[in-house]
């Protein structure tokens, strides 16, 4: 009989793995450790953590299922993937909620210990699916994960419940063997994590090794797999989430500008992690403030900007609604301010842990009066770094608030990121008003139209700011009709001139043809994958990704007219499509899904092909 250790492995170009179970099963931790190890193995990857909004939903129920999906391979990976190749289900509810995501003949690894009469009932199963033939289309591997975990920890001095909690590492060990992943990175993490509890560290390491040994020594699995490392440019890499990237982008901008960074926010999912993470960087002079509400947070950040700091605040959908009056004040006062909006499914409280792109019109127009401001949307977890950095550049150079749009998918998802050399980052110029000669608070730079930034308390630069309309140059309160018209137009023209400062997007594919897909934000990966596949099949399709939504790029209007059809995919009901139809009078075709999930490659491909065949 062939030894399992020497069993040949089937090489795969890419694979999609999903871990699923109760919120208390450590699913997110398991997924993150598999992701970390996969990144160390130098695979391209993209992840999709998905968890319930409840802190601890009832165990065994469908709405209490937490999952973590990772798509990894040796080629460029732009999405977390559509159909799952391998599902690890820790209970019946995890199986039932995730069956629809599996491809035909997918591998299912089940913890059969959890398939009790009670858990089957909670999951809505009248009979055990292992006995009904319901899973006949898949490769099912039932493993007594809980039993084997407890057996491996028989002589460890922990309670039964504490031992049982280690079962996620047993499952992880099985999957590590299945894909030829090393244990060492996870063992090192466990030992560091539980450095103050040697018994707990030993238990988790034992469970991990036991899972690996079980998979290696049994003949349970028909096949084992290997995904070779990707060919990536040399450099220093790390795995990074979107929220982590936002934090590092802001801190880098603060260092480059020489200004202190002041961050104020009120906790709200999925933006809360930004506050947690940025508070760890006090060694860079970062000042953090957890406010009592959203209004206080943005008011405090705006006050910091008035004092000559980089004022930053972050929120998600409902919180942005509360901040709108202060955003309007920032527009009127013409002060730099960065507002991070980590979008989530709405309206109202909506689905706090699910992703959506439905705040675009809010970011563009969610203020009374004529109050335009720049809006930049990150396209990937790692791009959140550059979106935050560039937002600070624009805010300081143009003396304006800037909205940075991310979303739950980007915030919690991760990918490998090549850490840039700080010397390669573009400079951030800061210009304060000088206390010599006559001073006019609203005297403007001839290129950017930015007004003077005067630090309060500087002799000779005394001035008054507020929400009432300003007289041109002097900043005095003015109710003059012609002055108001002039100031409204100056503020709008200033935002339009941002277009001359930011990079013009590059079109992917021919500059004219049958069909153009216009994307923004986190739809980038799905749209790029679809376009690359269709181009390989010989279709005349191209892609134009909008990073800055306001102002829109100069060449957009030209490209829109060069294609017979324009498709705009969004995780909303067509907000960008409405903007483009209104501005360019183009009959853009929307492709919309609002499921709290990223767009699927297969669905968009089918939609585009149907248009091409007409």
Residue 258 lies in a domain: yes
Is the pLDDT reported for residue 54 higher than 90?
no
Residues 203 and 256 reside in one and the same domain: no
Residues 144 and 256 reside in one and the same domain: no
| Final residue of a structural domain among 161, 191, 224 | 224
Structure token pair of residue 355: 């992703």
Backbone phi and psi for residue 305, each to the nearest 5 degrees, phi listed first: -65, -40
Residue 140 lies in a domain: yes
Calpha distance 15→325 (Å, rounded):
47
Residues 205 and 333 reside in one and the same domain: no
Is the pLDDT reported for residue 498 higher than 50?
yes
Structure token pair of residue 10: 């089937």
Residue 529 lies in a domain: yes
Calpha distance 82→467 (Å, rounded):
49
Calpha distance 395→390 (Å, rounded):
9
Mean pLDDT across the chain, nearest whole number?
96
Looking only at the bridges linking them, the beta strands covering 225-226 and 102-111 are unpaired
pLDDT at res. 2: 43
Residues 107 and 169 reside in one and the same domain: yes
Is the pLDDT reported for residue 510 higher than 60?
yes
pLDDT at res. 477: 96
Express each pLDDT in 250-271 by its tens digit: 999 999 999 999 999 999 999 9
**Residue range 130-139: average pLDDT?**
95
Triad 205, 206, 210: Cα angle to 5°: 120
pTM: 0.95
Residues 278 and 309 reside in one and the same domain: yes
Express each pLDDT in 409-421 by its tens digit: 999 999 999 999 9
SS (H, E, C) 160-200: HHHHHCCHHHHHHHHHHHHCCCCCHHHHHHHHHHCCCCHHH
Structure token pair of residue 172: 């992880």
Is the pLDDT reported for residue 76 higher than 70?
yes
**Residue range 428-443: average pLDDT?**
91
Calpha distance 223→11 (Å, rounded):
11
CATH number at residue 605: 3.40.50.920
pLDDT at res. 222: 83
Calpha distance 478→475 (Å, rounded):
8
Calpha distance 597→357 (Å, rounded):
10
**Residue range 397-402: average pLDDT?**
98
- Domain around 408: 239-424
Query: Residue 399, class by beta-carbon neighbours within 10 Å (0-12 exposed, 13-18 middle, 19+ buried)?
Result: buried
Per the CB < 8 A criterion, the answer to whether 417 and 236 are in contact is no
- Residue 451, beta-bridge partner list: 444
pLDDT at res. 196: 94
Count the domains in the chain: 3
Residues 153 and 252 reside in one and the same domain: no
Residue 129 lies in a domain: yes
Is the pLDDT reported for residue 429 higher than 90?
no
| Final residue of a structural domain among 424, 456, 472 | 424
CATH number at residue 124: 3.40.920.10
Query: In the structure, what pLDDT confidence band is assigned to residue 4 with cuts at 50, 70 and 90?
Result: very low
Calpha distance 39→382 (Å, rounded):
14
Query: In the structure, what pLDDT confidence band is assigned to residue 55 with cuts at 50, 70 and 90?
Result: confident
**Residue range 485-510: average pLDDT?**
97
Residues 16 and 159 reside in one and the same domain: yes
Residue 462 lies in a domain: no
pLDDT at res. 7: 57
Share of the chain above pLDDT 70, in %: 99
Residue 5 lies in a domain: no
Express each pLDDT in 28-39 by its tens digit: 999 999 999 999
Residues 250 and 169 reside in one and the same domain: no
Express each pLDDT in 327-385 by its tens digit: 999 999 999 999 999 999 999 999 999 999 999 999 999 999 999 999 999 999 999 99
Express each pLDDT in 151-172 by its tens digit: 999 999 999 999 999 999 999 9
Calpha distance 385→246 (Å, rounded):
5
Residues 44 and 175 reside in one and the same domain: yes
Backbone phi and psi for residue 331, each to the nearest 5 degrees, phi listed first: -65, -45
Calpha distance 82→289 (Å, rounded):
40
Share of the chain above pLDDT 90, in %: 93
Residues 244 and 376 reside in one and the same domain: yes
Is the pLDDT reported for residue 446 higher than 90?
yes
CATH number at residue 400: 3.40.50.970
- Comparing 5-19, 255-269, 554-568, which segment has the lowest mean pLDDT? 5-19
Express each pLDDT in 532-547 by its tens digit: 999 999 999 999 999 9
Residues 166 and 99 reside in one and the same domain: yes
**Residue range 510-534: average pLDDT?**
97
Is the pLDDT reported for residue 489 higher than 70?
yes
pLDDT at res. 574: 98
Is the pLDDT reported for residue 1 higher than 50?
no
C-beta atoms surrounding 384 within 10 Å:
29
Express each pLDDT in 323-337 by its tens digit: 999 999 999 999 999
| Final residue of a structural domain among 407, 424, 441 | 424
pLDDT at res. 59: 86
- Residue 339, beta-bridge partner list: 313, 403
Express each pLDDT in 88-114 by its tens digit: 999 999 999 999 999 999 999 999 999
Calpha distance 296→287 (Å, rounded):
15
Calpha distance 573→516 (Å, rounded):
19
Residues 306 and 258 reside in one and the same domain: yes
Residue 565 lies in a domain: yes
Residue 369 lies in a domain: yes
């Amino acid at each position: 009989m062939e030894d399992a250790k020497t069993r040949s492995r089937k090489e795969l170009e890419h694979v999609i793995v999903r871990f699923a179970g109760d919120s208390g099963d450590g699913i997110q931790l398991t997924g993150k450790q598999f992701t970390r190890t996969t990144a160390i193995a130098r695979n391209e990857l993209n992840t999709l953590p998905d968890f319930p909004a409840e802190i601890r939903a009832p165990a065994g129920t469908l709405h209490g299922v937490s999952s973590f999906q990772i798509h990894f391979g040796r080629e460029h990976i732009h999405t977390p993937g559509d159909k799952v190749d391998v599902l690890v289900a820790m209970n019946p509810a995890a199986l039932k909620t995730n069956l629809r995501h599996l491809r035909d003949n997918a591998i299912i690894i089940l913890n059969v210990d959890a398939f009790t009469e009670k858990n089957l009932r909670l999951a809505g199963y009248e009979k055990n699916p292992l006995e009904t033939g319901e899973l006949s289309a898949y490769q099912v591997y039932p493993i007594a994960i809980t039993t084997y975990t407890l057996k491996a920890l028989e002589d460890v001095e922990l309670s039964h419940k504490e031992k049982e909690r280690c079962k996620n590492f047993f499952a992880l060990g099985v999957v590590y063997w299945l894909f030829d992943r090393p244990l060492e990175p996870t063992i090192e993490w466990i030992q560091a994590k539980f450095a103050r509890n040697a018994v707990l560290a030993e238990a988790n390491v034992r469970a991990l090794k036991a899972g690996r040994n079980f998979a290696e020594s049994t003949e349970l699995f028909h096949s084992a797999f290997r995904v070779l490392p990707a060919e990536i440019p040399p450099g220093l890499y790390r795995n990074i989430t979107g929220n982590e990237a936002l934090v590092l982008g802001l801190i880098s901008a603060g260092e480059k500008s020489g200004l202190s960074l002041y961050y104020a926010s009120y906790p709200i999912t999925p933006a809360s992690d930004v506050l947690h993470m940025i508070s760890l960087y006090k060694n860079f002079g970062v000042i953090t403030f957890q406010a009592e509400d959203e209004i206080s947070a943005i008011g405090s950040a705006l006050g910091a900007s008035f004092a000559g700091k980089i004022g930053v605040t972050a929120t998600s959908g409902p919180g942005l609604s509360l901040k709108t009056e202060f955003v309007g004040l920032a527009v009127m006062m013409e002060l730099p301010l960065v507002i991070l909006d980590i979008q989530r499914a709405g309206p109202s409280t909506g689905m706090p842990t699910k992703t959506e792109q439905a705040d675009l019109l809010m970011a563009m127009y969610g203020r009374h009066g004529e109050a335009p401001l720049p809006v930049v949307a990150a396209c990937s977890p790692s791009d959140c770094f550059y979106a935050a950095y560039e937002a600070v550049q624009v805010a300081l150079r143009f003396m304006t608030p800037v909205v940075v749009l991310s979303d739950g998918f980007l915030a919690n998802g991760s990918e490998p990121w090549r850490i840039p050399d700080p010397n390669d980052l573009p400079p951030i110029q800061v210009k304060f008003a000088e206390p010599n000669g006559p001073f006019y608070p609203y005297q403007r730079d001839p290129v950017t139209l930015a007004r003077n930034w005067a630090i309060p308390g500087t002799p000779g630069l005394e001035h008054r700011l507020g929400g009432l309309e300003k007289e041109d140059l002097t900043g005095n309160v003015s109710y003059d009709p012609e002055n108001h018209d002039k100031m409204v137009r100056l503020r709008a023209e200033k935002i339009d001139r941002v277009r001359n400062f930011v990079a013009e997007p590059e079109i992917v594919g021919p500059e004219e043809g049958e069909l153009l897909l216009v994307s923004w934000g986190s739809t980038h990966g799905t749209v790029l994958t679809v376009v690359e596949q269709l181009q390989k099949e010989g279709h005349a399709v191209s892609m134009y990704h909008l990073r800055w939504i306001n102002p829109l790029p100069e060449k957009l209007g030209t490209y829109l007219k060069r294609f017979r059809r324009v498709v705009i995919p969004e995780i909303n009901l067509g907000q960008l499509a409405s903007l483009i139809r209104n501005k360019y009078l183009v009959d853009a075709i929307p492709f919309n899904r609002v499921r709290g999930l990223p767009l699927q490659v297969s669905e968009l491909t089918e939609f585009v092909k149907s248009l091409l065949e007409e």
